[in-house]
């Protein structure tokens, strides 16, 4: 059951990194570097050229979550229990 939680965390982290973080940074790059005026083709070209970088970010996020998920979850559970956060029983 724990591996299911870790898998869900990795899938969510990788997906959010690729979609949300990638779109945010690619949009910012298109706005900052468009000298002739902001246009849809410029935005699409930036999104397409950013796909490899966004994939690297997403894969590295998944790798780090695989390695660090268990220790992070254990520490967060201890803090929740210690301070009675989110309905955790003391």
The Cβ of residue 58 has, within 10 Å, a number of other Cβ atoms equal to 19
Q: What is the CA radius of gyration of the chain?
A: 19
Q: Please determine, for residue 78, whether its predicted confidence score (pLDDT) is greater than 80.
A: yes
Ranges of each domain in the chain: 2-87
With residues binned 3-state (H G I as helix, E B as strand, rest as coil), the percentages for the chain, rounded to 5, are: 90, 0, 10
As a whole number of angstroms, the distance between CA 49 and CA 5 comes to: 33
Q: What is the mean pLDDT of residues 38-46?
A: 89
pLDDT of residue 1: 65
* Entry pTM: 0.76
């Amino acid at each position: 059951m724990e591996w299911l939680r870790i898998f869900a965390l990795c899938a969510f982290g990788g997906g959010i990194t690729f979609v949300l973080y990638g779109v945010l940074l690619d949009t910012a790059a298109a706005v900052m570097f468009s000298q002739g005026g902001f246009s849809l083709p410029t935005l699409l070209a930036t999104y397409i050229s950013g796909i490899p970088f966004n994939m690297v970010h997403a894969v590295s996020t998944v790798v780090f979550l695989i390695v660090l998920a268990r220790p992070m979850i254990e520490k967060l559970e201890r803090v929740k229990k210690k301070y009675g956060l989110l309905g955790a029983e003391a």
